Amino acid sequence: MIQITELTKSFGDILAVNRITASIRDGAVFGLVGTNGAGKSTLLRLLSGGLRPDAGSVSVDGEPVYECPRTKARLFYISDEQYFLPGATPLETAAGYRLFYPDFQMDRCRELFQKFGLDEKRKIGTFSKGMKKQVSILCGLCSGAAYLLCDEAFDGLDPVVRQAVKSLFAGEMEGRAFTPIIASHNLRELEDICDDIGLLHAGGILLSGELEHMKLNIHKVQFVLKEERPAEEVFAPMEVLADDRRGMLHTVTLRGERESAEAKIRAAKPVFYELLPLSLEEIFISETEVAGYDIRKIIF
């Protein structure tokens, strides 16, 4: 398990990561989502040991990550900004990784290069963005690392390759101790594969936990009342995150148990009501609006 405790990192006057405390459990796909500049990429670099934290710590099964080669060998970091040695080929890149990852599976890596149509002897500098990302992902899967840290893992991949990579992740998790940690702006994609989610905003973590639990704890209710009443009054003492009104129709997002929400709206004797499922994108928007990141302020 990865344990993050009071983790803080600044770049000059910019506070990129602000006292984050969270845990990432083994054997589950962890999705990291956040607003632009929320600190996702910085957090991944801190988790990999590539950056020294200003304060706080990152540990894997109780062992520190920073300046600990033994722990770093359990982590494989894939940056959104792909970098390879000048003139390097996929085969040479894999051979380089084998120097740092003792369990690197070279034969399997070469086989995967072939299956994905990647010429192992062609210079990576001539590859497209998506092909470069494939090289990194395949090397990461074959490294033997227990944790694969992916910054925008599926960016640049076509739909067929995306599904192939997801299948490889699933197979790896079934076959050994393997935990993918994926930072992405594509919430719909993460919703399909993630077990746990961390929501970041302004360098801090708003919410972290199992995706299904999040969906069970946040609800959207549409209703029309015979006589107008504030949503806060109807659902008190539940926390109302948003109330979007279109004439008499209310669309309310609130936090709490589904049974309580339904009991509250029934007690108000509405003309009509309906409980609607929330997507990860809607949960993200609701949580960040509470934190002051409101799309309406940007548009209007």
* Below-70 pLDDT ranges, the chain: 206-207, 287-300
> Does residue 198 share a domain with residue 253?
no
The whole-number pLDDT of residue 207 equals: 65
User: What CATH number should be reported for the domain holding residue 33?
Assistant: 3.40.50.300
138 and 167 in contact (C-beta within 8 Å)? Answer: no
The whole-number pLDDT of residue 215 equals: 73
207 is a domain residue: no
> Does residue 84 share a domain with residue 11?
yes
The whole-number pLDDT of residue 299 equals: 34
Could you give the number of structural domains in the chain? 2
What is the domain range of residue 271? 213-299
What type of residue is 37? G
Across the chain, where does the E strand assignment appear? 2-11, 14-24, 30-34, 55-60, 63-64, 75-78, 147-151, 179-183, 196-201, 204-210, 218-224, 239-246, 249-255, 272-276
The whole-number pLDDT of residue 300 equals: 37
273 is a domain residue: yes
Name the token pair of 18: 């602000």
246 is a domain residue: yes
Specify the length of the chain in residues: 300
90 is a domain residue: yes
> Does residue 155 share a domain with residue 108?
yes
208 is a domain residue: no
The whole-number pLDDT of residue 290 equals: 53
The whole-number pLDDT of residue 147 equals: 97
Locate tokens 């299904």: which residue? 212
Give the DSSP per-residue string, 120-135: TTS-GGGS-HHHHHHH
> Does residue 186 share a domain with residue 84?
yes
Domain boundary among 165, 183, 202: 202
For residues 136 and 289, give the distance between their C-alpha atoms in angstroms, rounded to a whole number: 35
- Give buried/exposed letters for 154-166 (b at 16+ CB in 10 A, else e): bebbeeebbebbb
What type of residue is 14? I
> Does residue 147 share a domain with residue 46?
yes
31 and 44 in contact (C-beta within 8 Å)? Answer: no
Rounded to 5°, the CA angle 209-214-219 comes to 165
Strand partners, 147: 75, 179
The whole-number pLDDT of residue 108 equals: 97
82 and 129 in contact (C-beta within 8 Å)? Answer: yes
For residues 219 and 299, give the distance between their C-alpha atoms in angstroms, rounded to a whole number: 25
Phi, psi values for residue 162, rounded to 5°: -60, -50
